[in-house]
Amino acid sequence: MRWARVALFMLACAALLGCAGARRPLQDDVSIQTHSHRKKPAVAYQGSAFLMGYYAGVTQALLEAKPAVLVPGRTITGGLSGGAWSLISAHLGYSGEQLLKMWADLFTSQKAKDLLQSAAAGGPGLVGHINTLAVRELAGKLPDNPQHTLNGCMRVAISQLDSTQLYTNNSASWIVDRWQDRADVQATLLATNYISCYSGPTVYTYFRNQPVIDGGYSSGFKQLCPGGRLRDCIKAASYYVGSEKANITCDTTRCSSGCGSHDRTNIITTLYQNGPYVDRWKLFEVPESETE
């Protein structure tokens, strides 16, 4: 497929410009240092695989518990993919019921209906357009300064790619717990949910000038829970990917240039030091007429 060749070309360009082998440590985990005195358990959600109703129910239960287990703006939480979307929404004041409505609105918008109708005629449907719908939904849901609420209590896992390689295997676990502004928060949500050639039309997307994909490809509960303390962390997952199954969600037919092997068993906890020009190869959406 022509679009697959385009994606491979962009990855090859990034590899040529990347800085081979060099790595840097993960950012300092400020949230753990600042809030280590808190005795309440942390809460962590993994991926959703569109089962957002599960997280809506869990979130509602944790919010309504006596005493409350999930306190917006205070409880330390960690999430990836749909789990990150759910917990960030909870911190920003959304109940489980409102979260479920938000998810429903995403797929019942006129744009979504048009895409689904195109699928009936043999088109790609929602495939490759999930993030486009998400941007529209987030535009009306995120407050002006969500970082003021999230900084210090929310952790989001994103998978950072090695620009010297031509595949998505061996992505590094990147835990983000500090944001500058609303746009930074939105970019985080789009990055942690990015399934290659499904959420968008390309193999990967960019976050803070780095090539990244869905957080489920590189992280698990040990990365999401503060300090890796699993016993002090309430864990929920409607769909578990895990590092050893990191490539199962990659469609080899649509994304043949980006899928790696199924042999990954380790989690990389240091970020790649990609070259300074890795973000200059801007991703673009290939016209649908060229994707078949």
Task: Give the pLDDT mean for 151-180.
Answer: 91
Q: For residue 155, which of 76, 39, 37, 41 has the smallest C-alpha distance? A: 76
Mean pLDDT computed over 45-62: 86
Whether residue 89 is predicted with pLDDT greater than 70 in this model: the reply is: yes
- More confident: 284 or 99: 99
Mean pLDDT of 175-193: 94
Residue 156 sits in which domain range?
Answer: 2-290
pTM for the full model? 0.77
Q: Is residue 281 within 8 Å of residue 204, measured between CB atoms?
A: no
Range of 80-94, 236-250, 252-266 with top mean pLDDT = 80-94
98 or 50, which is more confident?
A: 98
Q: Token pair for residue 201?
A: 């039309």
User: In the chain, how many domains are there?
Assistant: 1
Under 8 Å CB-to-CB from 194, ≥6 apart: which residues?
131, 200, 204, 205, 212, 213, 214
> In this structure, what token pair is assigned to residue 21?
């082998």
Query: Tell me: the pLDDT tens digits for 95-142?
Result: 999 988 888 887 788 888 888 788 777 777 878 788 888 888 888 889
Write down the pLDDT at residue 30. 44
**Per-residue pLDDT, 253:** 55
Query: For position 254, what pLDDT does the model report?
Result: 52
Main-chain phi, psi angles of 77, to 5 degrees: -135, 155
pLDDT, residue 265, reads 61
SS (H, E, C) 237-248: CCCCCCHHHCCC
What is the Cβ-side half-sphere exposure of residue 164, based on CA atoms within 13 angstroms? Answer: 11
| Residue where the block lists tokens 């090859």 | 12
Task: Extract the tokens encoding 104.
Answer: 């429903």
Q: What is the mean pLDDT of the chain?
A: 77
Is the pLDDT confidence value at 50 over 50? yes
Residue 12, pLDDT > 80, answer: no
- pLDDT for 280 beyond 80: no
